[in-house]
Structure 1
Amino acid sequence: MTAMDPRTLRNAFGTFLTGVTVVTAHGQDGEPLGFTANSFSSVSLDPPLLLVCLAKSSSNYDALTDASGFAVNILAETQKDVSNTFASRVEDRFATVDWKVGPHGSPVLSDVAAWFDCSMHNVVDAGDHAILIGEVKAFETGVANGLGYARGAYFTATQEVSSIQVDSETVVSALLERDKKVLFFEDDAGHLRLPTRNVSKGTPTKELTALLEEIGVPSSVGFIYSVYEDEEANAQHLAFHCSAGEGTSQSGNFLALTDDVLARVQDAATQKMLGRFAKETQKGNFGIYFGNHENGEVRKIALGE
């Protein structure tokens, strides 16, 4: 077998779309240290394990492999500058970011999509890298979408959904979820509906973002959950799954998707969609519905064994 060109091999590895993280710890001198990494993966739920890969050529190699623990910070899509800072030879990387000491002792960054504070479970030698396996001792998830990376460039979920254009009557709704509850508006008769906006031309996510801002809860637009034609109303419907953070809504209430709540949703297509969402939320295995207001198909988008 002929020798492989490292640059070409790295380019091939780089076709795999990943998230972007900053791995942090404290050195033996007590000072915080960190580096940008996209070689991150969950490993196990019981016990809760994750891994990151660290190059042996890294200036942080000895400190990280000797550390009692480390944190993995999954960067939000607005944190490209943080990624660039921790990937470059900046003298004091932490001077440019807000951070605090996590519950288990490692630095955790502010405004990230999620962070995991870990104890060192194992260090595995792997060629010119070491695999750091951490046991999650504490974690926190925000509402921001994660920052993506592929072929040497960043990408974001917002870029994807923002590229959607419409040129006909379209009803855009927010399936705004928090802790397995969904935000509803209620009319005087007690009927429930999702937050919606009508769009006839342009980018529907702009109207959706404005709608979320009016609701007043920190939130982010996620993936399209349902696309269907309402042939009776002669309109297209786009429902987006959105994530909400803590806070009180200026209008509407978060309700669990019980049978009683679903029965108060008058629109049959919305009621059916919410029933599917309630089931999929329990499993964490979502799909996208394509069809009309009565019949269609669900295409799975989540990976699983």
Structure 2
Amino acid sequence: MNEASFDARALRDAFGAFPTGVTVVTTHDPSGQPIGFTANSFTSVSLDPPLLLICLAKTSRNFAAMTGSGRFAVNILSETQKDVSNTFARPVEDRFAAVEWKRGPEGSPIFADVAAWFDCATEQVLDAGDHVIMTGRVKAFANSGLNGLGYARGSYFTPALAGKAVSAAAEGEAQLSAVIERDGSVLLLGDDVLSLPTCAMEGGEPTQMLRDYLETLTGLSVSIGFLYSVYESRADNRQHIVYRATAATGEPAAGRFLPPGEALKHTFDAAATADIVRRFDLENSIGNFGVYFGNETAGKVHPVSRKA
């Protein structure tokens, strides 16, 4: 695919394969009112002098105020602040009413309970296509030690929950499975009795091992997404680690894609598999996914929302 034929949505999806943190960039408009927006285009630039950068769309309603204020703050959201990210990603009139904040040393709004914050003086505003790159000189900062909120491929993820999968795998023999989704359907194996594609975890990096297995099984390119379920089955005395995944177009060499509603009319290899498909059907319909921890009959779903 050459530059002239790029599809903007496809390019955005490809950029979205890179996992990032989530920030809210803030400043004040000329009247002194706080303004801010959610951004994941943030990176450190230099330690000496202390510089960072963010990117801002020229179409942003806050463009003039943000580029003209001479100062801004970057609030790195913690893994409990998905609602804050969603609030500042929407055209809400009084976004700041939904958060606890104060003025930083340089005057820009600083949020409570963030993973870290940086209060900056604007160093440069550089033209960059349909965006500008704003570099800021860090005048003050703080690091709370909280885990940051992650984002990739249109969904949030939390590092602390992902780490639990590794801990679970270390506790005994583990099985890796995938809910491979495509256009709302799920890849399932079997005819009379349905099952998720599953392989034994034999050491090494679990997502790479699972992807290699799935691509060999289906003959399709597979992208492993986020952790979906971690549970101990008392029936086979194994830890089961389930990830969400997506597959490229084409007919799979093994299995078939079924809408969850149709799949649930069939028999499954285990009650836990049926529960996973039923839960995926519900969460996919509302765009609000979670990560399950427990056993095959009882546990807790930790919500991990999609970005609005």
Q: Decide which of 164, 168, 179 is 1:165's aligned counterpart.
A: 168
**What is residue 67 of structure 1 aligned with on the other side?**
69
Please list the CA deviations of residues 162-203 of structure 1 after superposition, one character each: whole Å capped at 9, or x if unmatched: 22316759xxxxxxxxxxxxxxxxxxxxxxxxxxxxxxxxxx
Q: Could you say what secondary structure the match of 1:78 adopts?
A: coil
Residue number in structure 2 paired with 1:182: none
Change (3 A) 1:158 1:130: same
The letter for the 2-side match of 1:92 is D
Q: Structure 1: give runs of 5+ residues left out of the alignment.
A: 170-305
Quick one: which amino acid aligns to residue 81 of structure 2? Answer: Q
Aligned to 1:143: 145
| Mapping of residues 181-260 of structure 1, within 5 Å | none
Q: Provide the identity percentage.
A: 62
Q: Equivalent residue for 2:4?
A: 2
Structure 2 letter corresponding to 1:61: F
Give the CA RMSD over aligned residues: 1.3
| Residue of structure 2 in register with 1:246 after alignment | none
Residue in 1 that maps onto 2:84: 82
- Partners of 1:158 and 1:58 lie apart in 2 by 33
- Paired with 1:166 and 1:13, the residues of 2 have a C-alpha distance of 31
- Report the CA distance between 1:158 and its aligned residue: 1.0
Q: Within 2, Cα distance between the matches of 1:167 and 1:144?
A: 25
Q: CA deviation at 1:68?
A: 1.2
Q: Structure 1 59/39 Cα, relative in aligned 2: closer, same or farther at 3 Å? A: same
The Cα shift of 1:2 comes to: 2.5
SS at match of 1:160: helix
Give the distance between the partners of 1:167 and 1:117, measured in 2 at CA: 41
Q: Which residue number in structure 2 is paired with residue 41 of structure 1?
A: 43
SS of 2:168's equivalent in the other structure is: coil
**TM-score under structure 2 normalisation?**
0.54
* CA distance in structure 1 between the partners assigned to 2:17 and 2:171 by the alignment: 36
Segments ≥4 residues shifted beyond 6 Å: none
Distance in structure 1 (CA, Å) of the matches to 2:101 and 2:139: 18
Whether 1:121 and 2:130 are equivalent positions in the alignment is no
1:100 partner amino acid: K
Number of equivalent positions: 169
For residues 195-243 of structure 1, what are the alpha-carbon distances to aligned partners after superposition, in whole Å with 9 as ceiling and x for unaligned? Answer: xxxxxxxxxxxxxxxxxxxxxxxxxxxxxxxxxxxxxxxxxxxxxxxxx
> In the alignment, is residue 97 of structure 1 matched against residue 124 of structure 2?
no
What residue number does 2:158 align with? 156
State how far apart, in whole Å, the 2-side matches of 1:56 and 1:168 are: 51
